[in-house]
Amino acid sequence: MKIYAICLIKNEADVIADCLKHALQFCDRIFILDNGSTDGTWEIVNDLASRHEQIVIEGQITEVFRDGMRSIIYNKHHQEISDQDWWLRLDADEFVVGDPRPVLAKANHEHADFVSAWQLQFYYTDSDYKNWDIEKEAQKTPITERRRFYSINWREYRFFRNQRDLRWEEDIAPQWPNGLTQVCSERIFNRHYSYRTPDQIKAKLKSILGHAQFKHVGSGDWKSRIFPSKGLHYYQEGVPPTLNQFNYYRKRFRMVRITLCGRLKRLLHRFS
């Protein structure tokens, strides 16, 4: 069993090196496709690839971002690898907790197609902002050591099994290869650092506001991304993450309610 990562990147210079070095601990290959970086990310990954043969640069693409871009890499390589091998959807601001290989082995035993992850969402907090002037002097410290406050309020697929005989038809299944159904009974944890520093938050909001893919982002005010540390969990290496499933289901219920209300409003408008 081997692990192959698909990593789409764009302007993640502050975190991409740490992300890739972490993933190299368990990935046999990391395929990278750049979506038009202009902040030095492209140069960083090429430098890393020159020193780590597991990192494979697939090139750059300047199309408008979509989840289905991952199919470009999958369709190029899926026939070369086994149906017992796994793909990791590796986002440049994420770090899998621990070694995922035992869980993937269990997934193979269960004939599963997916392994899902509890997402540890790390926040830029009022405590971080208070100490920002001091932190500026230590920005070479990995983000995993600088951002400590998190909440587990989401889960999603992170690994999917290779299908040697089937292409990923993006028009049928834009986020994942079509034909995958079974989910492994065991989940992993995944650390997600979407908002990291004031400058990074401002740049991120500027790049994604107005993009249909990120309608959930909301306000463009960067300070709205500063969360109170009180009420969040504090991450410590070697200590199991704190999982509160009530928060997850509360968020899921809220999203379902928003979706249903939106559909109802459109329906009423249509017949008014």
pLDDT tens digits, residue range 191-244? 999 999 999 999 888 876 655 444 444 556 888 899 999 989 999 988 989 887
What distance in Å separates the CA atoms of residue 42 and residue 162, rounded to the nearest whole number? 27
Asked if residue 185 and residue 71 are part of one domain, the reply reads yes
Q: Rounded to an integer, what distance in angstroms lies between the CA atom of residue 90 and that of residue 159? A: 9
The whole-angstrom separation of Cα 55 and Cα 254 is 39
Residue 98 has pLDDT above 80, yes or no: yes
Domain count across the chain: 2
* CATH code: domain of residue 107: 3.90.550
**Is the Cβ–Cβ distance between 251 and 155 less than 8 Å?**
no
One domain, residues 153 and 75: yes
Task: Kindly state whether residues 140 and 15 are assigned to the same domain.
Answer: yes
Mean pLDDT value across residues 64-83: 94
Residue 86 lies in a domain: yes
Examine the domain organization and report whether 221 and 253 are in the same domain: no
Q: What percent of the chain has pLDDT over 90?
A: 69
Which pLDDT band, with edges at 50, 70 and 90, does 253 fall under?
low
Residues 186 and 259 in one domain: no
Domain range for 257: 246-272
Residues 131, 108 share a domain: yes
Task: Kindly state whether residues 85 and 214 are assigned to the same domain.
Answer: yes
pLDDT by residue (tens digit) across 15-69? 999 999 999 999 999 999 999 999 999 999 999 999 999 999 999 999 888 889 9
Who has greater pLDDT, 64 or 255? 64
Residue 58 to residues 3, 4, 101, 171, 178, Cα–Cα distance (Å): 17, 13, 25, 22, 23
Q: Same domain for 165 and 190?
A: yes
Phi and psi at 222, nearest 5°, equal -65, -30
Predicted TM-score (pTM) of the model is: 0.85
Is there a domain that residue 219 lies in? yes
- Round to whole Å and give the CA distance between 211 and 204: 12
The per-residue pLDDT for 214 is 44
Q: Which pLDDT value is given to residue 258?
A: 66
Name the band, by pLDDT with cuts 50, 70 and 90, for residue 245.
Answer: low
As a whole number of angstroms, the distance between CA 122 and CA 195 comes to: 8
Indicate whether 176 and 86 sit together in one domain: yes
Residue 188 has pLDDT above 80, yes or no: yes
With 0-12 CB in 10 A as exposed, 13-18 as middle and 19+ as buried, what is 31? buried
Same domain, 224 and 251: no
State the CB neighbour count (10 A cutoff) for residue 98: 12
Q: What is the rounded average pLDDT for all residues in the chain?
A: 89
Q: Is residue 239 part of a domain?
A: no
Write down the pLDDT at residue 212: 46
| Residues 46 and 176 both lie in one domain | yes
CA distance 141 to 159: 28
